[in-house]
Chain A
Amino acid sequence: MITKVIALIVVLIIIPYCIGLLPASFIDGDRRVISVIYILGFVISLAIFELISVPVIILKSDGFPLIVAMYMGTECALAMAGIILYNFRVRKRTESADADDTRLKDRRRLTGEETVLWLVAAAAVLFQVIMYICMEAFDGDDAYYVVQSLLTNETDTLYRIKPYTGLSTSMDLRHALAAVPVWIAFLARVSGIHSTIIAHSVIGILLIPVLYVIYYNCGVLLFNGDSKKNAAFMIFVNIMYIFGNVSIYTDATFLLTRSWQGKSMLANLVIGSAIWLLISIFKSDEGEEDRQTLGYWITLFALNITAAMCSTASVFLMALLIGIYGITMSICKRDVQIALKLMITCVPLVVYGAVYLLM
């Protein structure tokens, strides 16, 4: 059991964090914190999975072991590259500048009220994680997605067996391009845990807090680091999720009833990350004109690959969100380059759409 947990911690937390050091080397020093680095790495890590898995799914019907080997190799290589690059680019510079000392001086103790607010916010997240583990939500789509994960892990085949019955079938391209079920199968393979348990009892333990880390990162930017206000913000976000079941269609309902499905990841993690990255790139206060944002741009590009991993609808949704923002921002700032740069980040969506239409 311990080895299974350790395997998941390595694959889901340590490696993505190390990969996050790559883009984090290209952002401002004050934003290089664990919560930011991890989300950057998590997004890129998922994007790499999509890039590796889709060609294999299309070309090799029983290629799951190949995906596992290639993905693990690439992940480890990128994690190493992240550590090395970060060490050279960031740590060496800050060592001499006594930056750490300054940071320590800036770090202040939380006040009593602040502590209470943060404890309430943390308790609300913990409550949702416990409910995810202890409560089961019936969702008919699991008969497709969860079984697809189980089939992949048990038979090594990729989208060539009908999940509903078990009969052979030709590749279902529409679903095959969105590789979240294969990612769940990958987690099952490396941990040795049953795919259905991964989906229903394990992955939400990560995905639910990750969503709140994204909101936390948004809060840091929205309130310019005011921890007290950010704590209140996090409480409100939690309450809106816990009481967000106003219909079966909302992002909150999707998160709490089917967090393991690609659609839920799109509605919450991907769209949430997109908004956070856009704020990170474009929100600049006075005197902050020379900010380093390359790391966010890289991650936004990767996010559009991750979006494709979640659902075919992502092609339209992400392009719409980024497109509208790019156009309005370009008009307001009278700078067409903003729209052009944002268009480049949408290239993965165009490629994805083309593959879908041509095949």
Chain B
Amino acid sequence: MTQIVEIFKAYNGTGYYCLLFIAALMYLWFAEENKSLKLLLVTVPTVIQVLFFIPYFHMAYNMLDEGTYYRILWLLPMTLVIAYSAVKVIGNHLGLGVALVCLLLSLCGSYAYMGVVFDKAENAYHLPDEVIELCDMVRPQEKGKRIWVAFPPELVHFVRQYTTDIMLPFGRDSMVDSWKRADNELFDIYMGRDIYADRLVSLATGYQCDYVIIGQDDNVIGDVTDYGLREIGRTQNYIVYSNLDNAVWYDVGLDKYKSMLYREAEE
């Protein structure tokens, strides 16, 4: 039960909209004359709210889709009920009434575009310009060809949204702690405080990466160029190294992509 209450509180944030919703339900309970509307806008939401707090119901939902119980609350037509009640309350005094209700709603809510989630879009892809610059630097020119590139973990969310010609030795599935992620030593190297050049090159070569990208501010111990990488370009925050000259490629008998697949299958 505590868990359900926590979900409810987390969903409603400050709780003011929730209070307005409950007030609107109570108002409509008395003021709404149309029976079918009353059922849909008052009775059904009330039943859903009651069901939401029943632990067995929570257990049943979790069997289908764990961790998304808050979605039951999407069924409550909060916006519709509050807005409808507000119009009914202000009646024909629309001029002043609309202004007052808008003020109340904006004070009770939280402005969507002020959160940390939003940034000014840098391009039509809504991806960081620097990621696009990096991808363009390394992506193959031939149509249909795919290459492996080791990107720093903070960029892996974006890379394949721009081009799927670039394959990654680790992706977002390595980043989320709660997921059962497969061990990836290259990811661990990137996430460490110090990046050891010999280890990084060895692992990137092991993952058959054609390019390796390192942050300019990363604390790299040693010089990656001593181990076969060659700098081919820089952006504002990252350095791009080519790994194509590395001797290991000449020993790979199979197509790189396929050999990686076989290795994954063996694991």
Enumerate chain A interface residues (CB-CB to B < 8 A): 113, 117, 131, 133-140, 142-144, 146-147, 150-151, 154-155, 161-168, 194, 196-197, 200-201, 215, 218, 222-223, 228-229, 232-233, 235-237, 239-253, 256-257, 263, 266-267, 271-272, 275, 278-279, 282-285, 312-313, 315-317, 320-321, 324-325, 328-329, 332
Contact = CB atoms under 8 A, between A and B. Distances in A.
A161 B121 CA distance: 29
B43 A328 contact: yes
B35 A266 contact: no
Contact of A138 (B51, B117, B120, B125): B117
What does DSSP make chain A's interface, helix, strand, loop or mixed?
helix
A324 B44 contact: yes
A257 B116 CA distance: 11
Nearest to B48: A324
Given A136-B122, A271-B74, A241 B102 contact: no
B34 interface: yes
B161 interface: yes
Q: Which has the most chain A C-beta neighbours within 10 Å: B10, B43, B115, B157?
A: B157
18 contacts: A117-B98, A147-B161, A168-B261, A200-B124, A200-B126, A215-B79, A223-B87, A236-B102, A239-B106, A240-B83, A244-B112, A249-B70, A279-B37, A312-B64, A313-B68, A320-B51, A320-B72, A325-B40
A135 B120 contact: yes
A324 B51 CA distance: 10
Given A135-B119, A164-B172, A240 B109 contact: yes
Interface stretch (B11-19, B229-237, B242-250): B11-19
B219 interface: no
Nearest to A221: B37
Contact of A250 (B11, B51, B171): B11
Interface stretch (B89-97, B194-202, B210-218): B89-97
Nearest to A135: B118
A223 B85 CA distance: 11
